[in-house]
Amino acid sequence: MTRKPDIKAGRLPAGVYVGNFADIQPPLDRAAALVEASRCYFCHDAPCIQACPTGIDIPGFIRGIATGNLRGAAMKILAENIFGGACARVCPTEVLCEGVCVRQAQEGRPVPIGRLQRHATDFLQAAGSQPFTRAADSGRRVAVVGAGPAGLACAHRLAVLGHRVTVYEARRRPGGLNEYGIAAYKVPDDFAQREIDFITAVGGIDLRCGKALGGDFDLAELRGKFDAVFLAMGQAGVRALEVEGGELDGVEDAIEFIARLRQADDPATLPVGRRVVVVGGGNTAIDIAVQCKRLGAEEVTIAYRRGPEQMGATRHEQEFAQINGVRIRHWLRPLRFAGDNGAVASAQFEYTHMGDDGRLVGSGETTEIPCDMAFRAVGQAVQSAPLREGGGEAPTMSAGRIQVDGDGLTSLPDVWAGGDCVAGEDLTVQAVQDGKLAATAIDRHLRG
């Protein structure tokens, strides 16, 4: 008889889940927003603008808040970053705009740019009116593959410029990582879908979900039907963790579990182990670990093969995990998952250190962490096979990514690409910038 690990739902009292998955950073009220906006120096050649991948005029929108012009503030944000609301919630502002804020250098406390950005964009979305208008119809049609931040940012900019855009999304709901891959407490209350409704309300965007590249259509077909194509399908593949025991009951991919949690009507119904081990060191590792604690896991350990400085997760995210009761252990390389009659019982690791040549070296010494559930959070990969379906030309790949030039143009003259399938950075704000820049380049191409 196969032993079942100690994995079950409803480990906590029903009412606790509401608080555990509520917004981790409540919005600023009007008075607090005015106080924080008044701290901005409105720098000339502001370093925060340079640090923002989308180039938002940060002093400009904060001045709008300070003078009571919330609509104007929001428009300054959305003109550069149509996903300004999501980025205000999920961007690592502590290492981007806020990390270079002059107030941070002087006082150790920056102007809370992310929270002020949310204050302005939330106001505009709550107003319910669509602030953007489309140009006259150009008669040109563009296909976008992927309804994540890169794809929808590109689609919105193209629609505003007068082009008709059809967006194909493999999943049943649009949003990409904003909908399926980010911790539920960062974007609660169906925010991701409300933001997409706001974006697509500009018109000219035909959103078709449940349509996958390589299955329901192929790239050659799109190139024949549309004037241009933008590839923004993210990283649907999961990188393999080539260790023994990955098939055991209780060993899962972190990104798939997060997606199930994000789509669950009630987090209390999602089973979680009593003891959980997460292998990885990026934001996904942090998100899955903290959410397991908030689902009721008693012990959650993140094991990473290098030190804290090499972790993909920011220092802020690492501290957030520890505050939530997650233990982070460094210099541990996974060796195998050990099982008991088909179910995972422990994760075994080798101690590591950095060699004189800068390479990771195994020490030969091992340790074991008991667990009922283990998650692989070692990154995602682009699925290149769908690009080759149909027998047509496929864009050139390099190091597992689609190769593009500075405008996002691939090796094919009418196909652009952007977002994680190009950069692999897993940053919403960079994906938005990729989509925006590609849309501008596509528009130039379409107008000859």
Percent pLDDT > 70 in the chain is 96
For the chain, the farthest-separated pair of C-alpha atoms sits apart, in whole angstroms, at 70
pLDDT band at 278 (very low <50, low <70, confident <90, very high): very high
pLDDT of residue 425: 67
Confidence (pLDDT) at 1: 42
Residue 390 has pLDDT above 80, yes or no: no
Q: Tell me, what's the pLDDT at 4?
A: 62
Burial class from Cβ neighbours inside 10 Å (0-12, 13-18, 19+) for residue 401 reads: middle
The predicted structure's pLDDT at residue 240: 66
DSSP string, 276-320: EEEE--SHHHHHHHHHHHHHT-SEEEEE-SS-GGG-SS-HHHHHH
348-357, pLDDT tens digit by residue?
999 999 988 8
What average pLDDT does the structure give for the chain?
92
pLDDT in tens, 415-436: 999 998 897 667 899 999 999 9
Residue with tokens 């008044």: 38
Position 80 scores a pLDDT of 97
Residues in CB range of 49: below 8 A, 6 or more apart:
55, 56, 57, 58, 59, 97
For the CA atoms of the chain, what is the radius of gyration? 23
Q: What is the pLDDT of residue 387?
A: 77
User: pLDDT tens digits for 238-274?
Assistant: 666 778 888 999 999 999 999 999 999 999 999 999 9
Q: Which helix (H) or strand (E) holds 400?
A: none
Q: When comparing pLDDT for 32 and 388, which is higher?
A: 32
What is the mean pLDDT of the segment spanning 321-339? 96
CB atoms within 10 A of CB 421: 31
Mean predicted confidence (pLDDT) in 117-128: 93
CB-based burial of residue 19 (10 Å sphere; 0-12 exposed, 13-18 middle, 19+ buried)?
Answer: exposed
pLDDT at position 253 is 92
50-54 long-range Cβ contacts below 8 angstroms, 24+ apart: 50/100, 51/96, 51/97, 51/99, 51/100, 52/96, 52/97, 52/429, 53/96, 53/427, 53/429, 53/430, 53/432, 53/433, 54/80, 54/81, 54/87, 54/429, 54/432, 54/433, 54/436
Angle of helix 30-37 relative to helix 113-127, nearest 10 degrees, comes to 140
Encoding tokens for residue 277? Answer: 């081990």
Rounded to an integer, the average pLDDT of 56-75 is: 97
Residue 389's pLDDT band, with cuts at 50, 70 and 90, is confident
| Nearest to 300, CA basis, from 373, 238, 236 | 373
What's the rounded Cα separation, in Å, for the pair 306 and 313? 12
* Total number of residues shown for the chain: 448
Above 90 in pLDDT, residue 391? no
Distance CA 41, CA 44 (A): 9
**Confidence (pLDDT) at 335:** 95
Report pLDDT digits (tens) over 201-244.
Answer: 999 999 999 999 988 999 999 999 999 999 998 876 566 677 88
Q: Which are the contacts of 215, defined by CB distance < 8 A and separation ≥ 6?
A: 170, 386, 389
Tokens of 5: 């690990």
* pLDDT value at 177 more than 50: yes
Q: Are the CB atoms for 325 and 297 separated by under 8 Å?
A: no
Examine the pLDDT at 414 and tell me if it is beyond 90: yes
Q: Which domains does the chain have, with CATH numbers?
A: 30-127 (1.10.1060.10), 141-236+382-446 (3.50.50.60), 238-378 (3.50.50.60)
Confidence of residue 155 (pLDDT cuts 50, 70, 90): very high
